[in-house]
Structure 1
């Protein structure tokens, strides 16, 4: 019997013995714990329907709910009803695969400054990239676009970008690795970073 067959046979035998030992255990060391009677009751309630690949949901101080749809639409739910028309549509969106309109955040002082931050994929000379831009809510739309950062590597998959303000008031941006896992370990690229 050659060495590989011998090792394989020994490994198989060891596996069978361990499985038998595990099955023979009486369970005394692992008692069944009854479920808690204090489990909170949850109820599913549909707030909006017929949306297309919702990525981010944020809650405004005035009770409105803002959400992003991958094809580039920002939608608003107000008083329990979704507005019929999109609140805003990104004009130069690249909504393919897992990209499109992704992250959204409201400035911590949104009530005063009305700043909304959006992260979305776009095309640049045939390459897909991600841009984070700041807008101002003006009436029933977003205006005053200002690019915060752009040219973040993107791809059809793994472009996922999230936005969130930390307790320090700073905007934190997470980026996907653009299907190149090793990029997350490199300091000379924005792919796969926070």
Structure 2
């Protein structure tokens, strides 16, 4: 439960000079150039696959090897197998593109090859400048989204550009976990009569599963799975156990890795391993044992965004590990997970804000960089 000193971790650092040369190179020829980078664990290769994306946020591989990529200003594109980017796809929803809001995650339905359904999360605009997180789905037909329908809306909407969360995860049983922030409103994360600071669990059509923990409870919304969260932009299912894991952002310190369970309260804003931005202290979680505590917590923060459990063959030593993107840490963080236990074991310094992490069909790791000129990077073993 306690945060280990950084010296206890195997903190892998890539060659700063080689990486800088890679990231500043913008020509197509240079973008395909292979950069071999040495680490304590061996040689890794980082290729810049493409650039020209505006704050890309989420990605998902199609069965034909192409890659769907969202851009926060409100666009969905397809990167072809030759690494060229399509024009923005038609049929996507209007978004609230301010601050952290906009077009967020993209996930394929488990039955995509038959139903062609694509799920998108986004900040949905409302009246008077208000917005909330939303989740919808549509069919990918002829490289456009057809019949897009919103299946879930966070209630209520608030003014402000922060803490939309937005990750979409399918459970092994076919339910959807949708992670949300508390819209920088603090106290509503402890109130089950709204969706702020919660993870919701719904069916693919937006209906509520019959075994949800707060179903038909007075003063609680049926969709809620867990609550007391601050802002969750990392989420993935451990394929070995079927359990959901999330990494959520703390305030000034105290980012957390959690394994959320039904009906559990994770304490925000009553407790935290960090403090408020104005320096005022927040009680640590052990002072309130009724709240669920983090499995790992990070100070300084890593600002986690994006997560995938590695199952490929390119990096045998990473199998079963969670790979988490870091924004402020500008890193790819590897966490070894064994059942309910977790420990950070490796950190690849990328020198740029990492927004999302995905495993390619061939086992390579793809990263999105959070920049005005956002890039797709590919990590593979070196020579």
| TM-score higher than 0.5 | yes
Larger radius of gyration: 1
Matching residue of 2:98: 96
Say yes or no: does 1:133 pair with 2:124: no
Residues 191/40 of structure 1: CA separation in 2 closer, same or farther (3 Å cut): farther
Deviation at 1:107, TM superposition (A): 0.3
Do the aligned partners of 2:54 and 2:72 also contact (CA within 8 Å) in 1? Answer: yes
CA distance in 1, matches of 2:149, 2:187: 31
CA distance in 2, matches of 1:47, 1:62: 17
Residues 159/115 of structure 1: CA separation in 2 closer, same or farther (3 Å cut): same
CA distance in 2, matches of 1:184, 1:40: 43
Say yes or no: does 1:193 pair with 2:198: yes
Say yes or no: does 1:147 pair with 2:150: yes
> What is the TM-score normalised by the length of structure 1?
0.75
Which structure is higher in RCO with an 8 Å CA cutoff and minimum separation 6?
2
Do the aligned partners of 2:133 and 2:165 also contact (CA within 8 Å) in 1? Answer: no
Aligned residue for 2:44, secondary structure, equals coil
Matching residue of 1:165: 170
Matching residue of 2:64: 62
Say yes or no: does 1:115 pair with 2:117: yes
Do the aligned partners of 2:106 and 2:119 also contact (CA within 8 Å) in 1? Answer: yes
Q: Which runs of 5+ in 2 are unaligned?
A: 1-6, 13-38, 200-383
Aligned residue for 2:51, secondary structure, equals coil
Matching residue of 1:44: 46
Deviation at 1:175, TM superposition (A): 0.6
- What are the Cα deviations for residues 105-163 of structure 1, in whole angstroms up to 9, with x where unaligned? 11011111110011111221112122211110111100111211124445301112111
> How many matched pairs?
161
Aligned residue for 1:112, secondary structure, equals helix
Residues 80/191 of structure 1: CA separation in 2 closer, same or farther (3 Å cut): farther
RMSD over equivalenced CA pairs, Å: 2.2
- What are the Cα deviations for residues 14-62 of structure 1, in whole angstroms up to 9, with x where unaligned? xxxxxxxxxxxxxxxx9xx9x9x98242211111201101111112222
CA distance in 2, matches of 1:92, 1:192: 23
Residues 82/192 of structure 1: CA separation in 2 closer, same or farther (3 Å cut): farther
- What are the Cα deviations for residues 167-192 of structure 1, in whole angstroms up to 9, with x where unaligned? 12111100111001222222111111
Do the aligned partners of 1:73 and 1:89 also contact (CA within 8 Å) in 2? Answer: no
Matching residue of 1:156: 161
Deviation at 1:73, TM superposition (A): 0.5
Q: Which runs of 5+ in 1 are unaligned?
A: 1-29
**Is the helix fraction higher in 1 or 2?**
1
